[in-house]
Amino acid sequence: MEGELPHKEKKLVFSYYLNYPFYNIIWFILKIFRKKKKCILYCEDGFDIILYKNVGKYLQPVSVVAKNSKVRGMLLSNGYQCDSILPCFPDVVIMFRNMAWKFPCKKIIKIGFKHGAYNFKAHSKAIYYNMFNLFFLTSIHEIENVKAIGVKTELIVAYPKIDSLFDGSLTAESIGNLQKKLKLDSTKKTLLFASTWDGSGMSAIEKWFDKISLLKDKYNLLVTVHEWMSDKYKMPLKNNPDIYFITEFDRLKYLTIADICINDTSSLIAESCLLKKPLITFRVQKTHRTLDDVMSYIAKISIQIDDFSELENAIEKHLVNPNLFTKEQEEIAKVFFDEPDGLSGKRAARKIKELLVE
């Protein structure tokens, strides 16, 4: 029945049930007085605005709604639009998170995209996906994985974030300008360190964040970490004069100038694999969110190490043979992504328009 709560055995976050009746009353009242449909991009984090750009350029302008004043401040300080913060009562919401429960009205059309490439951690429960009218995933393999957990919503392949790698927007001139801006030493190779959120239990940042300066004499050092990374790791890196800590939302261009990528289980591994970048990964302990197949993929496409003391030797192996895992990366990239052509955002926008017309 329209408007009923999900079956009691299908548990959502408590705030969904708490907000459900009040949210719906306000939504229906506002709907009466609204003259035209309200379509928004919901940003749980400032980074979401970058994920949207390759879709948004094919759609009519939308209002940008941030999670809170902190995220709104991040967007504005980086030169992006932000119209308001939650709560919000739209007719259509587009998001790059699996958080449709934040808009607990079934009349709202909900369109979701993946925040990161593929699923490097256990999927959300099927009920969270099934709150969407349409959800975009990064490959047919991922669609099959999601369907296997009981997801019934319409699933389409599209990952617009990587369009920038194939649509000509990242030119040799722009990459050259970036290298000049970073003042990279042309006699040194460039290492890009990346780490997933420490709160996931799948990060290895504690193994290198306070030792990375030991590499400064031999390499250019770039660092990017998950936007939710704890300050005890983030702030020492941000304040480290020996590295370039990436604060820009758009991080893909930094990946293109890296000679070697060093990671743990961050989904940036997928983009590194797509670009055939030599990879080194720190092993992490298994958690309830670990996916065995993903750990197997990572092991096939990277030199795996346990400790920082092993890092320089792994770097040397890649420098001697930069194509060490190229064949494996080509194979695994087909699992992470369907054939990239720079038009993913255009296809996604066309599907969104079709849905809205329907």
Each residue's pLDDT, cut to its tens digit, for the chain (358 residues) gives 333 333 333 578 888 888 999 999 999 999 999 989 999 999 999 999 999 999 999 999 999 999 999 999 999 999 999 999 999 999 999 999 999 999 999 999 999 999 988 889 888 899 999 999 999 999 999 999 999 999 999 999 999 999 999 999 888 899 999 999 999 999 999 999 999 999 999 999 999 999 999 999 999 999 999 989 999 999 999 999 999 999 998 889 999 999 999 999 999 999 999 999 999 999 999 998 889 999 999 999 999 999 999 999 999 999 999 999 999 999 999 999 998 999 999 999 999 999 999 8
Residue among 268, 195, 185, 196 at smallest CA distance from 221: 185
Angle, helices 326-336 vs 292-301, to 10°: value is 150
Q: What residue spans of 149-258 are helical by DSSP H? A: 172-182, 231-238, 252-256
* Dihedral of alpha carbons 355, 356, 357, 358, sign: positive
Please give the pLDDT value at position 2: 31
Q: How far apart are the first and last CA of the chain?
A: 20
Do residues 105 and 88 lie in contact, with contact meaning Cβ atoms separated by under 8 Å?
Answer: no
3-state SS, residue 26: helix
Please give the pLDDT value at position 12: 83
Residue among 241, 243, 203, 200 at smallest CA distance from 223: 243
Distance CA 170, CA 190 (A): 18
Please give the pLDDT value at position 10: 55
CATH (residue range 14-164+341-357):
3.40.50.2000
Angle, helices 344-357 vs 48-56, to 10°: value is 80
Interstrand relation of 279-282 and 260-263 (parallel, antiparallel or unpaired): parallel
Question: Count of alpha carbons within 13 Å of 217, Cβ hemisphere only?
Answer: 2
**Domain positions in the chain:** 14-164+341-357, 172-336
Between the alpha carbon of residue 157 and those of residues 41, 218, 264, 294, the distances in Å are 20, 41, 26, 19
Residue 29 carries which side chain, given as an amino acid letter? I
Please give the pLDDT value at position 121: 86
Distance CA 232, CA 206 (A): 10
Distance CA 276, CA 68 (A): 37
Distance CA 234, CA 225 (A): 8
Residue 3: CB atoms within 10 A of its CB come to 10
- For tokens 């983030």, the residue is 234
Structure tokens at 214: 């030991």
3-state SS, residue 157: strand
**Domain 172-336 in the same topology as domain 14-164+341-357:** yes
Residue 271 carries which side chain, given as an amino acid letter? E
Distance CA 147, CA 321 (A): 39
**Chosen CATH of 172-336 out of 3.40.50.12580, 3.10.129.10, 2.60.120.10, 3.30.70.260:** 3.40.50.12580
Distance CA 73, CA 80 (A): 10
pTM above 0.85, yes or no: yes
- 125 torsion bin: left (phi>0), alpha (psi -120 to 50), beta (else): beta
Do residues 102 and 86 lie in contact, with contact meaning Cβ atoms separated by under 8 Å?
Answer: yes
Question: Count of alpha carbons within 13 Å of 19, Cβ hemisphere only?
Answer: 18
